[in-house]
Structure 1
Amino acid sequence: MSKPFISICIPTYQRPHLLKTLLDSISIQNYRDFEIIINDNSKDDSVEQLLKSYVDKLPIDYVRNNPSTTAAENTNTVMQRANGEWIKLMHDDDWFETADALQQFADAAKRSGKDFIFSGCTQVWLDSGKKQIDLLSEEKKQWLTESPFCLFYLNVIGHPSATMHKKDNSVLYDTGIKWVLDIDFYMRYFKKHPGYHYIDACLVNIGKDPSQETNKYYKNRNVELPEFFFLLAKYEQDLDLKNRHVFHLIWNMLKRYKIKDPQEIYDAGFKGTLPARIEKIIACQKYIPDIILKQTPWSKKLVLRCYKKIAADYIKTGKTMHHDL
């Protein structure tokens, strides 16, 4: 039996009612050269019972973890078990928006010459039904084309369920990260597989729920500070703060948490050596009143002034920086 072109990889946890919506959206896809790999972290058999009704409908390879693993480990395992050439990761609370969604991903994989593909999506609030369309603007497309390090400032790719990538078991999720693991995965994948293809259409619905695990990490000082600075240290040799998006991220992060001393970053849980010039950015903000920093027009002027000041150091050492913040 030949291998499928696409492996739809679903890491799931005890949400059969949501998984059913996803499986039903797969059932109606007009593209059929795929397999479904499901790794289940559930403590009960609710998912297993649901899948019995799909035995004759879909090509499902199901494994229930015993013992259960972390979400990142579950995602890595389900991708490693895939037999297809391409990985279409789908979280269990997301689903395909149209019957030709998988066909569009497959066509892009065959024709684009790129190993990483993503589409627009529709965010759907599961409690209220509210919807928000997310499409990539030309400006943000240019950011990503210039450098994947723009993802530090803003994740313009978005949710993993809106992506598809060529299988590469050497690039998996970092299990030590909770909040910025998608950004880290994208950047490491781009480093090994440069370039991307974007499908300018909403092909996937992204379920939004207040109870989702990641909600407790957003704007959490003891998660965001150590994780973002961990990433900055991880990629320092590649960026060294030259990228304007990275610089802007640091400025905003220090401003958000009112960091006036580098020790506060360590106190929040960061372990390691802070990237070069962080102290200079802190020094730029240190004596500026918070009420001024909170005002967007003033903050934009101040970040540009600080950026140019630090850029002068690069000029003295023969390096260059972009001046288009």
Structure 2
Amino acid sequence: MPKVSICIPAYNQDLYLRKTIDSILSQTYQDYEIVITDDSPGNIVKELAQGYQRPELIKYFKNATTLGSPENWNEAMRQASGEYIKLLHHDDWLSDPDSLAKYVAMLDENPGADYAFSATQAQSPAKNWDHMLDESQLKILKENPLVLYSNNLPGAPSTGIFRRSVDMFFDPKLKWLVDIEFYIRMLHHNNHFIYTPELLLVTYVAEGRVTDECLDNKEVEIFEYLYVLNSIYKQRNQYSKTARKSCLLKAINICEKYDVNSRHEVVAYGYTGKMPRKLRTWLALKAMGNLPAKIYRTMLTKH
């Protein structure tokens, strides 16, 4: 059994996927397997993977039907056999030959932790920037994982590594908050995480990513923020009142962003699940007018 399964959910491109695979093959740490699950309609990914002629190392799987994101991520993880899982999107790559060794060391040297992640460099056609956390952010993340509901501190899933024994997968109902919801569950399971400020990964911010479909998409944002809020309130006793209130106010912000004026409109945007009582009250007041809702929101903020 390999120590690490590097799971690459691939779809219909080979330019950056080649860079991803090459960055793995150049690693000094060698106890790994590469698992590629191909969600493409054609053979572009298959031809690239098989072109390396390393079937014992690069394990290629063609999905029988298109799974979409994030179920293709989950399929790659299901095919993994390693002790650790390192999800790596098909347009992200390891920045240094020692990156994988450093990811593995974070878990090897901290047996009480199930999850570790690194700082990253983001690249786009327009600019590059570093995504790093300071001590205050790390402290908040450890004390209150629900901060993730408003701020994705770790970043993209490619930044992390976790133990396969956690047996945790991404929620297929989500696209925009899928990584945030996963991190919340991961840290709820075990809030002992490891972080390194070393830039071990490069994420490529390209046009056409799932992000482009979700950003400022009212159907996606309203459904997903309320869906995740409901999952948080199902375990309300596990989180502080202050942490829950912060999530509630974020959900209200999303409703205000899209001028949602009633519970009926929430349903029209696709969310039919439960909502916290205070959110239902705010929506009822919003249906009466902006002023009653504003007064109630101010009261929630202060108390």
TM-score norm. by structure 2 comes to 0.89
RMSD (CA atoms): 2.5
Change (3 A) 1:57 1:233: closer
Q: Once the 2 structures are TM-superposed, how far is the Cα of residue 170 of structure 1 from its aligned partner?
A: 3.6
Q: Indicate the residue corresponding to 1:71 in structure 2.
A: 69
Instruction: Look up the SS of the partner of 1:277 in the other structure.
Output: helix
Q: Which amino acid aligns with 1:92?
A: H
Is the contact made by 1:27 and 1:58 (CA closer than 8 Å) also made in structure 2?
A: no
Change (3 A) 1:230 1:83: same
Whole-angstrom CA distance in 2 between matches of 1:289 and 1:273: 23
Whole-angstrom CA distance in 1 between matches of 2:55 and 2:67: 28
- 1:15-34 counterparts in 2 under 5 A? 15-34=13-32
Find 2:225's aligned residue among 223, 228, 252: 228
Whole-angstrom CA distance in 1 between matches of 2:228 and 2:258: 18
Q: Indicate the residue corresponding to 1:278 in structure 2.
A: 279
Instruction: Look up the SS of the partner of 2:256 in the other structure.
Output: helix
Residues 29-52 of structure 1: CA deviation (Å, up to 9, x unaligned): 111111111111111111121123
Alignment partner of 1:213 is 2:207: no
Q: Once the 2 structures are TM-superposed, how far is the Cα of residue 303 of structure 1 from its aligned partner?
A: 6.4
Is the contact made by 1:11 and 1:39 (CA closer than 8 Å) also made in structure 2?
A: yes
Q: Indicate the residue corresponding to 1:122 in structure 2.
A: 121
Residues 142-192 of structure 1: CA deviation (Å, up to 9, x unaligned): 221112111111111110000111004742111122221111211222222
* Structure 2 unaligned spans of 5+: none
Is the contact made by 2:229 and 2:251 (CA closer than 8 Å) also made in structure 1?
A: no
Q: Which amino acid aligns with 2:51?
A: S
Q: Indicate the residue corresponding to 2:150 in structure 1.
A: 153
Instruction: Look up the SS of the partner of 2:277 in the other structure.
Output: coil
My pick for the range that moved more, 62-71 or 225-234, is 62-71
Q: Which amino acid aligns with 1:76?
A: N
Is the contact made by 2:69 and 2:175 (CA closer than 8 Å) also made in structure 1?
A: no
Is the contact made by 1:123 and 1:208 (CA closer than 8 Å) also made in structure 2?
A: yes
Is the contact made by 2:114 and 2:166 (CA closer than 8 Å) also made in structure 1?
A: no
Is the contact made by 2:117 and 2:154 (CA closer than 8 Å) also made in structure 1?
A: yes
TM-score norm. by structure 1 comes to 0.83
Is the contact made by 1:9 and 1:87 (CA closer than 8 Å) also made in structure 2?
A: yes
Q: Once the 2 structures are TM-superposed, how far is the Cα of residue 116 of structure 1 from its aligned partner?
A: 0.3
Q: Which amino acid aligns with 2:280?
A: E
Is the contact made by 1:27 and 1:57 (CA closer than 8 Å) also made in structure 2?
A: no
Whole-angstrom CA distance in 2 between matches of 1:45 and 1:112: 41
- Percent identical: 27
Whole-angstrom CA distance in 2 between matches of 1:141 and 1:281: 32
Change (3 A) 1:53 1:262: same
Whole-angstrom CA distance in 1 between matches of 2:72 and 2:213: 20
Whole-angstrom CA distance in 1 between matches of 2:179 and 2:14: 24
Q: Indicate the residue corresponding to 2:10 in structure 1.
A: 12
Is the contact made by 1:80 and 1:169 (CA closer than 8 Å) also made in structure 2?
A: no
Q: Indicate the residue corresponding to 2:301 in structure 1.
A: 307
Q: Which amino acid aligns with 1:257?
A: Y
My pick for the range that moved more, 222-231 or 207-216, is 207-216
Instruction: Look up the SS of the partner of 2:77 in the other structure.
Output: helix
Whole-angstrom CA distance in 2 between matches of 1:46 and 1:175: 25
* Structure 1 unaligned spans of 5+: 294-301, 312-325
Q: Indicate the residue corresponding to 2:197 in structure 1.
A: 200
Whole-angstrom CA distance in 2 between matches of 1:81 and 1:179: 24
Q: Indicate the residue corresponding to 1:186 in structure 2.
A: 183
Change (3 A) 1:268 1:10: same
Residues 166-224 of structure 1: CA deviation (Å, up to 9, x unaligned): 00474211112222111121122222233211111111111111211231111111110
Is the contact made by 2:119 and 2:199 (CA closer than 8 Å) also made in structure 1?
A: yes
Whole-angstrom CA distance in 2 between matches of 1:206 and 1:83: 25
Is the contact made by 1:284 and 1:306 (CA closer than 8 Å) also made in structure 2?
A: no
Whole-angstrom CA distance in 2 between matches of 1:137 and 1:271: 38
Count of aligned positions: 296
Q: Indicate the residue corresponding to 2:266 in structure 1.
A: 265
Q: Once the 2 structures are TM-superposed, how far is the Cα of residue 58 of structure 1 from its aligned partner?
A: 7.8
Whole-angstrom CA distance in 1 between matches of 2:185 and 2:57: 31
Superposition misfits of 4+ residues, deviation over 4 angstroms: 280-286, 302-305
Q: Indicate the residue corresponding to 1:35 in structure 2.
A: 33
